[in-house]
Every structure is written in C-alpha cells, then in structure tokens.
Structure 1
C-alpha cells in the first residue's frame, strides 16, 4: 500500500511522542538505544501498517498485534494518536 498523508503524519507524531517520552522518563541520556528504547522503529512501522488496516483499536489489540512490551502502559496514548489521524470508519 501507499502511505496516506494521515498515516505519514501519524508516523511523525509517533516519532515525536517517543522522543518526548524519553525526556519524561529521564532516558534522554541513553545514547546507545536512543528513542528506540521506548519504541523500536520496527514496532513504530508495524503500528502504521496495522493502522492502515484499522487493526488497532485498544491497548489490548496493540499488545496482541505488535507484542510491544509497553502496550498496556502507553497504549491509551498511542490509540489516541491513531484516532486523531485515522478515525475508525463507521
């Protein structure tokens, strides 16, 4: 598929979100892993792909579909970002 404008914006917001989380959780001094300590690029792109097919609706679906270990901690924020750019079809 070709990434839509909304999906591209979601990707940018997720990158910005994980950088912000690094600072909030006092992990910004980690030069080895960087922002990927919060969310790897693989998980980030998996989220975008799954969002394209409307597969992520709850933190539980985020965990089940991606296996991201922080799904239950940060899932509500991620789902909120997803819905801001890609509303669930009616």
Structure 2
C-alpha cells in the first residue's frame, strides 16, 4: 500500500511526452523513404523473378525450387511493409 502510494506520487509528476522529430531529421527521413522504396522495388522484382522461374521449371520439368523463393519474397515483403506497425506495437504505448 505504501509502495503503491509512492508509485502514484512519483509518476503523477511525470508528464507523458509527445514524440517530436529532432532538428535536422529531414535528411534521415528522406533516406528512410528511399530505403522503403528500394525494399518495395526489390520485393516486386523478387516475386516477378520467382514467378518466371517457377513457370520455367514447370515447363522444362526441372526441380521446383522457386516456390521457396516466392514464399520467401512474399514473407519478406510482409515483414518489410509492416515494419512501422511492428515497431509501434513494441515501442509505442
């Protein structure tokens, strides 16, 4: 009971700070947007390549290694596009 009261008194005096970008962060944010664009481009390229290779392997009767490539590209795309949501869930309140 005493610890709860002390906890309430100490944390009642601390404000909930709102996040704001530090000075000069525009360049970092621009770099992050370029990196996001590159990740999306590489994901589309990977899925397109894996799809073409899958068609070639089916046509030529070779071993089917491309479904793993396709699944990997799709899972990587899901993780890459949901990175912001994942970080907000972990770090955010």
Same fold, TM-score > 0.5, yes or no: no
Query: Rg bigger for which structure?
Result: 2
Q: Structure 2-normalised TM-score?
A: 0.31
Q: Which has the higher helix share?
A: 2
Q: Structure 1-normalised TM-score?
A: 0.32
Highest RCO, 1 vs 2 (Cα 8 Å, sep ≥ 6): 1
